[in-house]
Structure 1
Amino acid sequence: MSVRNRFGTVAAIALMTTAGAVLLSACGPDNSDPGSTAASSAPGSAAPGTAGPGGGSHSGSPAPGGKEVNGTSAANHLTISTGTKTVAMNGTAVDFGTVVRDLAWSPDGKKVVFVNGDGDLLTANPDGSGKAVLAKAPSGEAWSHPTWQHADKGPSGNAVPDETERYNNIVFASSKGGTLRLEQVPAKGGTVQELTPHNSEGGDAAAEPQPPQTGNTWANAGGKQAAIAYANTPANEVYIYDDYIRPATQDIGKGSQPALSPDGGHIAFVRSVDGHDHLFSRSTDYEQKTEKDLTPSATTDYTEPAWSPDGKTLAARTPDGVSTLPADGSAAPTQVSTIKGLPSYRP
């Protein structure tokens, strides 16, 4: 496992399998994993500026003059979900009225998708209103880390058919009986189906090995043609699945928690190096396999990367909050928030 377990005894007791640990450990602050029953039922619905799970303020640290500072603003598009009812965004804390885990944004930034305290998949407006249950998790099944798959609408007359609606889906990880799989549901609602990354069969692709169907988690959509990055836990490998033209699965290499850039040209992921979790990146081009360690001098752990809408900045979770760094690795990370949660960017 490339990301070391730093999430405390509550999560450790609650998680009975390695697969479950990877699925849930990334969701919440130390000692308050929101994927666990203890955290979901705990007084985690802290009001803005009050202490929540893991300690600290969900609205950041007070600055001179009483202004709340949490590293988010309308200008930088950064949002942070902590497994409580409040989500940090636009320099404040938005109360969703329900537990919000693993929040992700729609391609147009007008909707969010998340897993609530009951483990169900919900969508809502950015201010927490308009909540709708997209799908209810079956008994004994845990869902996590949804992402909004999408494809750009092609121009009229383009030889490539308009796939916008076909790829308007929510892809997420499901854990049942210790087995991890990727599943998907139309963003407008419908039937949950298993997502099975694979390679084309027949022709030159006949000899291509098929990727594993179980152990898959941490899906992340990116680019303009519905590509999905994901991690396979048993193999400790990162993959990219793309079936826009023909099904093809690209093995990126060792790592976890992948994130595709907005243009789909690069992928960031996590890999353990000398006792710390580092951020790496590489091109998604098949012919360009060179990796770059973005945090070569890391003295802490950088996990759960997220790309800014312009593709120039990466945000990452650390044990002390959230840090950002240039996506090209030209500067060291800088802590921007003391909030311990999952960073994401609103398009």
Structure 2
Amino acid sequence: MSVRNRFGTTAALALMATVGAVLLSACGPDNAGSDPTAATGSAAPGATGPGTPAPGRSAHPSTPTPGAKEVNGTSAANHLTISTGTRAVAMNGTTVDFGTVVRDLAWSPDGKRAAFIDGNGDLVVADPDGGAKVTLATAPGGETWSHPTWQHAAQGPSDLPESTERFDTIVFAAAEGGVLRLEKIPTKAVGGTPEVLTPHTSLDGSANMPQPPQTGNTWADAGGRHGEIVYANTPADEVYLYDDYIRPATRDLGQGSQPALSPDGEHVVFVRSVDGHDHLFTRSSRIDQKDEKDLTPAAATDYTEPAWSPDGRTIAARTPDGVSTLPADGSAAPAQVSTVKGLPAYRP
């Protein structure tokens, strides 16, 4: 695979140079109606703290503010956010200083909390303005954590409207001594100890089927309401689906990397190298449907690190030049929407 590495320290300069947005004490992620080009200042390394939503703003507006600005691909209307491995996160037409390095930003299914790996390599959750930080777990020396995701499930035996939503577990990848594993921890932990997530094909491991690899697993991404998670196995260059609804079970979905599961859990988008470029493919997550579709058949660049929009209609992907989006059904070619070079994610 030719999947590109994440951008390094130059990402901060690229973000500030291209977004041209601002950090003010009263300009947080929900201040969508302000014009970031009208303010002064920037997310300088010496900034002292996170932004704060304007007084009276709700935690997450249900509708975009009339006249809301779209700056470098992000707006309250499209829910797109971009993290660059710096303190600054692009969202809602501005940038928000989280007060610490933010790597691999992932949003909770209700959009009220963000999970990420901070500058110390620890797993942290915070509010959308970077406040109310809690360190769920501290990475042991020699261990590197990456790409957290919120496992989502419905409480109870049915998906009736009255069933209680829960997303009380975060799954992430841990690398130690060249060995990759998936680990999990409760979202309400404080300085907790993660447990290894063990993929298998049945509850007791006795099924007459090959058991999935226990190491080499990385890049988990959750979707649906049944505890489903897709992840990649690096040595095998395969994508797997882990379902934790009734009894844990794991299925091989085919060749690929960097998978993302649609919000309804019905489709998977993943990366596969074709003729020297990284393409985006989709397929159903159902066991009886294995057809794949190349969403980027004419790719002249690399499309990596895909993410689904909350309505499942759009996919955002990282490119060497920024972030592009395309219809999830492949009905149109990708269009670049941002020159910010970072990891795209959507805040529900």
Distance 1:156 1:201 in 2: 21
2:146 is aligned with 1:144? yes
2:180 is aligned with 1:180? yes
TM-score calculated relative to the size of structure 1: 0.81
Query: Deviation digits for residues 25-83 of structure 1, max 9, x if unmatched?
Result: 3xx32xx1xxxxxx4xx8x7x5xxxx258x843547x9998988210000000000000
Q: CA, structure 1 residues 82+246, in 2 after alignment: closer, same or farther (shift >3 Å)?
A: same
Q: Which residue of 2 aligns with 1:98?
A: 100
2:300 is aligned with 1:339? no
Q: Which residue of 2 aligns with 1:70?
A: 72
2:115 is aligned with 1:113? yes
Q: Which residue of 1 aligns with 2:258?
A: 257
Q: Which residue of 2 aligns with 1:129?
A: 131
Asked if structure 1 preserves the Cα contact closer than 8 Å seen for 2:203 and 2:249, the reply is: no
The one-letter code of the counterpart of 2:332 is A
Q: Which residue of 1 aligns with 2:65?
A: none
Distance 2:244 2:158 in 1: 21
| SS across alignment from 1:168 | strand
Please report how far the alpha carbon of residue 199 of structure 1 lies from its aligned counterpart in structure 2 after TM superposition: 1.1
Distance 2:198 2:129 in 1: 34
Distance 1:56 1:135 in 2: 34
Asked if structure 1 preserves the Cα contact closer than 8 Å seen for 2:2 and 2:276, the reply is: no
Q: Which residue of 1 aligns with 2:45?
A: none
Q: Which residue of 2 aligns with 1:299?
A: 300
2:208 is aligned with 1:197? no
TM-score calculated relative to the size of structure 2: 0.81
Please report how far the alpha carbon of residue 163 of structure 1 lies from its aligned counterpart in structure 2 after TM superposition: 8.5
| SS across alignment from 1:70 | coil
Q: Runs of 4 or more off by more than 6 Å in structure 1?
A: 62-68, 155-158
Query: Deviation digits for residues 230-268 of structure 1, max 9, x if unmatched?
Result: 000000000000121122111110000000000000000
| SS across alignment from 2:246 | coil
Q: Which residue of 2 aligns with 1:311?
A: 312
Asked if structure 2 preserves the Cα contact closer than 8 Å seen for 1:3 and 1:256, the reply is: no
More deviation, 188-197/110-119: 188-197
Sequence identity percentage: 68
Asked if structure 2 preserves the Cα contact closer than 8 Å seen for 1:232 and 1:238, the reply is: yes
Please report how far the alpha carbon of residue 164 of structure 1 lies from its aligned counterpart in structure 2 after TM superposition: 5.4
Q: CA, structure 1 residues 71+3, in 2 after alignment: closer, same or farther (shift >3 Å)?
A: same
Q: Which residue of 1 aligns with 2:18?
A: 57
Q: Which residue of 1 aligns with 2:327?
A: 326
Q: Counterparts in 2 of 1:163-178, with a 5 A limit?
A: 168-178=168-178
Query: Deviation digits for residues 170-212 of structure 1, max 9, x if unmatched?
Result: 1000000010000000011143100011111679x62111000
Question: CA RMSD for the aligned pairs?
Answer: 2.6
The one-letter code of the counterpart of 1:152 is A
Q: CA, structure 1 residues 63+104, in 2 after alignment: closer, same or farther (shift >3 Å)?
A: closer
| SS across alignment from 2:18 | coil
2:91 to 89, 110, 124: 89
| SS across alignment from 1:57 | helix
Count of aligned pairs? 303
The one-letter code of the counterpart of 2:308 is W
Q: Which residue of 2 aligns with 1:235?
A: 236
| SS across alignment from 2:207 | helix
Q: CA, structure 1 residues 64+88, in 2 after alignment: closer, same or farther (shift >3 Å)?
A: closer
The one-letter code of the counterpart of 1:226 is G
Asked if structure 2 preserves the Cα contact closer than 8 Å seen for 1:3 and 1:270, the reply is: no
Distance 1:290 1:176 in 2: 36
| SS across alignment from 2:330 | coil
Specify every segment of 5 or more residues in structure 1 that has no aligned partner in the other structure, as ranges. Answer: 7-24, 33-38
Q: Which residue of 2 aligns with 1:280?
A: 281
The one-letter code of the counterpart of 2:18 is S
Asked if structure 2 preserves the Cα contact closer than 8 Å seen for 1:276 and 1:299, the reply is: yes
Distance 1:64 1:98 in 2: 24
Specify every segment of 5 or more residues in structure 2 that has no aligned partner in the other structure, as ranges. Answer: 22-34, 40-68
Q: Which residue of 2 aligns with 1:9?
A: none
Distance 1:68 1:76 in 2: 9
Q: CA, structure 1 residues 202+215, in 2 after alignment: closer, same or farther (shift >3 Å)?
A: closer
Q: Which residue of 2 aligns with 1:17?
A: none
Please report how far the alpha carbon of residue 132 of structure 1 lies from its aligned counterpart in structure 2 after TM superposition: 1.1
The one-letter code of the counterpart of 1:139 is G
